[in-house]
Amino acid sequence: MSDKVDILAFGSHPDDVELSCSGTIISHIAAGFRVAVVDLTEGELGTRGSAETRKKESEAASSIMRIHYRENLGFKDGFFMNDEAHQLKVIEMIRKFRPEIVLCNALHDRHPDHGRGSRLVSDSCFLSGLVKIKGENQAPWKPRAVYHYIQDRYIQPSFVIDISGFIQQKMDCIKAYSTQFYDPSSKEPETYISSPAFLTSIVSRNAEFGRLIGVEHAEGFTAERLFGVKDMLSII
């Protein structure tokens, strides 16, 4: 079977995708689309858990989302760069999966890896389409669009995706990262994301985005360029 997917979602850390756009991923898979996820790092600098536990948790989350493929590029958490060496690794993933749409980190956010990962993936999507950048047995491929999901910091979305009916499945895949989020039995240090209020805030934001378009829950994205539709009736 071909590795080609419709949507390729990148995250700087395991759980970025789950927190920010897993509802969209789950809903699109339910509609018959193929989706892959690529994590840039193993999240080894996280206060709670380890690279090993994050790997097991990402596998559990992947199963809940029912994604078709997941890979980890093993970049250095906190210190990867938007340079040629890292771009070539991302280009390899883009050319392998040949997505129509790429989803990636927010353009700016609380964690510096998010903005840096965002720019790395966006630049690599452009470079992936250049014929003079050679890849081993890989043809050039340029996705039709790159969209940035919204993370910790509030960013006005360019558009939102209705995820009504999928919010519980989204929260289940987030909670698969049991070392990272609220667990009353955990003995690990408390962090910004380990409180029950943090999980509540995710549902609340999705409810607020949903309210804006008259649905129960939605996820927000920003676009790098103006995009259009064929007819006005296709807009909610």
| pTM as predicted | 0.96
- Residue ranges of alpha helices (H) inside the chain are 16-30, 51-65, 84-97, 112-128, 167-175, 196-212
Cα-based angle 182, 186, 189 (whole degrees, multiple of 5) = 85
Contact criterion met (CB below 8 Å) for 36 and 9: yes
pLDDT tens by residue, 53-85: 999 999 999 999 999 999 999 999 999 999 999
Name the burial class of residue 88, with classes exposed (0-12), middle (13-18) and buried (19+) by CB atoms within 10 angstroms of its CB: middle
* Residue 147, strand partner residues: 103, 223
In the chain, the N- to C-terminal Cα span, in Å, equals 35
Q: What residues contact 169, with CB distance under 8 A and at least 6 apart? A: 22, 23, 26, 64, 65
d(CA 133, CA 74): 22
Q: How many helices (H) and strands (E) does the chain have?
A: 6, 7
pLDDT tens by residue, 125-148: 999 999 999 988 899 999 999 999
pLDDT tens by residue, 19-49: 999 999 999 999 999 999 999 999 999 999 9
d(CA 51, CA 20): 20
Instruction: Look up the CATH number of domain 7-224.
Output: 3.40.50.10320
